[in-house]
Amino acid sequence: MTKKILYRGAEAEIRLSEYMGKTVVLKQRVKKAYRIKEIDRHLIAYRTKEEAKLIAEARSYGVSVPLLYDVDLTKGAITMEYLAGSRVKDILNGLEESERKRICFKIGESIARLHNHDIIHGDITTSNMIFLHDRIHLIDFGLGCKNSELEAKGVDLHVLMEAFESTHSKYAHCFDYVIEGYSKKFQGDSSAVVKKIEEIVRRGRYR
């Protein structure tokens, strides 16, 4: 099949492709001409491996993520399940308030499941969430890492708060529903995470 480009970013290209008869998503990291070739190859392989590990680990902890079909470290490519759902970014504003609340609550629960195991997504926005089969699927762990610090968890959620304030400005209050879901599932002190978000806001640490 012709590989349709879904997204072209600075770090990677995302394409629709085919793998063993299935329609899949192929994420291919982009070579950087300004980097020494050996360093570039090493970085691409390392980042590809780390992203695949985070996705697999997230799934093992009950977070809905794409299934991984193939990881090619030499090419810097990850072949994964194509989720034929809707981006939360595209549907959230048009929902009834009760449904918006329910989905935001689910978002919070999913983030808590990551944070319970010190997985930091790194780019939690409603663009990186697919709503399918009544579940929130988190995608694009390219900026993710493992980090147990409260600061990292606060920053992760702060990124989402900013996404609500910009992309969903009429419904910025819905971030409160995210925090409700997060507090229900988070196994640590969720109030400490909320305080950290407030501290980040006070510091004016905007991305």
Active site residue 123: yes
Q: Which of 153, 143, 139, 146 shows the shortest CA–CA distance to 119?
A: 146
- The CA-based angle 115-149-147, given to 5 degrees, is 65
**HSE of 76, CA atoms in CB hemisphere, 13 A:** 18
Q: Which residues contact 49 (CB under 8 A, 6 or more apart)?
A: 71, 73
Q: Which of 90, 123, 140, 189 is catalytic?
A: 123
Which residues are annotated as catalytic? Answer: 123
